[in-house]
Copies of this chain bind each other. A is one copy, B any other.
Amino acid sequence: MTEKALDILQRHQLRNTAVRRQVLEQFLQAGHKALSNSDLEDALENPDRITLYRTLKTFEQKGIVHQAIDGSGTTKYALCQDECSEHEHHDDHAHFHCHDCGKTICLEGSIKSAVQLPEGFQVQQKHFVLEGTCADCQPE
């Protein structure tokens, strides 16, 4: 299982360190679930929040994870699909945010929506957030 983490580090030319391996493990385990800095602090043994912060920044930059915009105020990240690379993110999918448990997950499929934009505006990226109650938090 650490194998996959190691592979990712190598492919992105990142040094193989304990923190990075552990963080990657968490993301691999999380699947479509997005993780915040504080999530990682809870999950790891002796975490340093600044190191985690920088690790996430690095991973984002390398195209390993992407920010999952969910309107929650705190930054969350989720594993990118394979196609992403440095300066080339391809994460045009929607995110679901459960305002009950706070969980945020990546949804399948890409966003397609026609919104009329004022003259002279240039769109670079789109974020689509669905907010509501996840399956686990459904009443009865």
Contact = CB atoms under 8 A, between A and B. Distances in A.
Given A71-B67, A71-B69, A121-B96, A115 B128 contact: yes
Interface in A76-124: 94, 96, 99, 107-109, 111-113, 115-124
Interface in A114-140: 115-135, 138
Interface string A7-40: 0000000000000000000000000000000000
Contact of A75 (B73, B121, B125, B131): B73
Interface range, A side: 35 or more
A12 B118 CA distance: 32
Contacts of A112: 113
22 contacts: A69-B69, A69-B129, A71-B127, A94-B115, A96-B121, A107-B118, A108-B116, A111-B113, A112-B113, A120-B134, A121-B134, A121-B135, A122-B132, A122-B138, A123-B131, A124-B131, A124-B132, A125-B131, A126-B130, A127-B127, A127-B129, A127-B131
